[in-house]
Every structure is written in C-alpha cells, then in structure tokens.
C-alpha cells in the first residue's frame, strides 16, 4: 500500500521541496526524481509535453521515492480524469479565479460523494494499490493556482471550498495581473503583499500555501514565511544555469 509522500510530510508538519519537468522526456523525469525531491511535477500546461509523454514521465518518477504530480493544461474534467488515471498523485490546476472554478476542479478530481470523477482500474490503482478507490481522498491532492487579480480578490471564497487541499501561487502571472513585469522572484511591494495575503488567508482556512519559486534561495525564504510546498524552478533552468556557469569557468 502506497501513501502520498506530500500529504505525509504535511501531516507531520514538514515542508515539501518539489521538482518540475517541462521537457518531454521520461528519462529526464526519472533523473529529476532521483535527486532527492519530495515530489516532481510534470508540466502539461507550459511544458512541451502531451498526454502520451506524461504517462511515461509519471512512470519514470514512480520508480523513485518522489511523489508524481502534474500541472494540467486547464480546469477541464477530461484532463483531470486522464492524468489522475495515468498515476499522478496530485494536480496543480492553472487559472482558478473563483470559488465555483475551485469547486469544479476539486469535484472532477474525486469520486462521489465529494466529486464526480469516473473510476477506471488503470495506472492509479496499479501504482497506489488495489484500495486506491477507497483511499483516493487521501491519495489525490488538489492544488488550485492563484495567479490573477480576480483570484486574489476571491481568495477567501476559494480557500473555503470543501476538499481543496492547497493553493499554488504563480508569481509571474500574478505580477502581470497586478500590472508588473513577470518575475520569478518578485520584489515589487504590491506583488509581495499579494503573495503574503494569499498565504495568510490560506493558512487561516487550513489550506496549504504553495508557490513556484526561482530556486533554492527563494524557496528557503518562502519556507521561512510559512509556505508548505515550494517548486524549485524546472530542469531547463538547471541545465541553462549549469551550462552557463561551466562555460564561464572555461572561458575565464
């Protein structure tokens, strides 16, 4: 019987360090999952990944200790059902702007009576165990992305939605929504206050605040502020940063 490591860490009072994969490669996903991340997300929204790639990538993550997560392209029950069936243990849903949209996301992610997800005996039960259906409420984590001015204005209602486990802040889109340039590690006071407000409201509602960060230093600050899951950029940024660093050493 498999548990969801992310929820286990949260239940123990700890914080989750999440990896992120944007390139369509099961090998890259497996490598990322082997580096010590608590979880690794497959990015079907902005990554160069389709559903067939996602299945292989979730399989690659699943052979390691990291929990497989995914960001779906949109708040669409078809994508939600198929990616969960493929073995994701948690979903990040983009552009959740209202309580109604958050409820739709949660309900599509869960079986009755909480939701309306349809059951299929495919990779979910194969990966998590034959009692997957009975334990699915614990196994599947829902993270609603808060990344617009509308979502900021509606945050109290969003975090009150039954069954929503976490909110996931996208700093770049949130900055755009507030009239600023998209920056992974924002410095604009208005953006920083919006992020802090989302965190405070989420914490008060018992919903875990999570955020996409620009790297380890940014994540450490966010953990210190009370965030419970931080994503450390993605593997493409690690490749670019590592290549530029080594090229700089060579040319020096």
Give the strand pairing for 229-232 and 90-93.
unpaired
Whole-number Å distance between alpha carbons of 252 and 250? 5
Spatial contact of 84 and 73, defined as CB atoms under 8 Å apart: no
Spatial contact of 208 and 166, defined as CB atoms under 8 Å apart: yes
Which candidate in 46, 197, 212, 218 is catalytic? 46
- C-alpha dist (Å) from residue 125 to 56, 65, 85, 114, 122: 16, 17, 8, 19, 6
What is the enclosing helix (H) or strand (E) of 181? Answer: none
Whole-number Å distance between alpha carbons of 64 and 183? 32
**Is 46 annotated in the active site?**
yes
Structure tokens at 112: 């009755």
Name the nearest CA neighbour of 149 among 222, 202, 98, 200.
Answer: 98
Active site residues: 46
């Amino acid at each position: 019987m498999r548990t969801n490591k992310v929820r286990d860490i949260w239940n123990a009072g700890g914080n989750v360090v999440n990896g992120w994969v944007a390139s369509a490669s099961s090998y890259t996903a497996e490598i990322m999952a082997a580096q010590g991340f608590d979880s690794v997300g497959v990015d079907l929204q902005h990554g160069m990944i389709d559903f067939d790639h996602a299945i292989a990538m979730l399989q690659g993550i699943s052979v390691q200790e990291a929990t497989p997560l995914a960001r779906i392209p949109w708040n669409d029950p078809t994508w939600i059902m198929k990616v969960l069936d493929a073995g994701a243990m948690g979903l990040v849903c983009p552009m959740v702007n209202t309580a109604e949209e958050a409820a739709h996301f949660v309900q599509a992610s869960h079986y009755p009576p909480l939701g309306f997800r349809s059951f299929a005996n495919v990779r979910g039960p194969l990966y998590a165990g034959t009692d997957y259906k009975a334990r699915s409420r614990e196994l599947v984590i829902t993270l609603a992305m808060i990344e617009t001015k509308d979502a900021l204005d509606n945050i109290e209602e969003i975090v009150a939605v039954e069954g929503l486990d976490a909110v996931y802040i996208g700093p770049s889109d949130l900055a755009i929504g507030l009239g600023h340039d998209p920056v992974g590690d924002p410095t604009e006071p208005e953006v920083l206050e919006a992020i802090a407000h989302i965190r405070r409201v989420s914490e008060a509602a018992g919903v875990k605040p999570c955020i996409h960060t620009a790297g380890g230093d940014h994540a450490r600050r966010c953990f210190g502020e009370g965030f419970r899951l931080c994503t450390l950029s993605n593997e493409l940024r690690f490749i670019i940063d590592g290549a530029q660093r080594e090229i700089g050493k060579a040319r020096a």
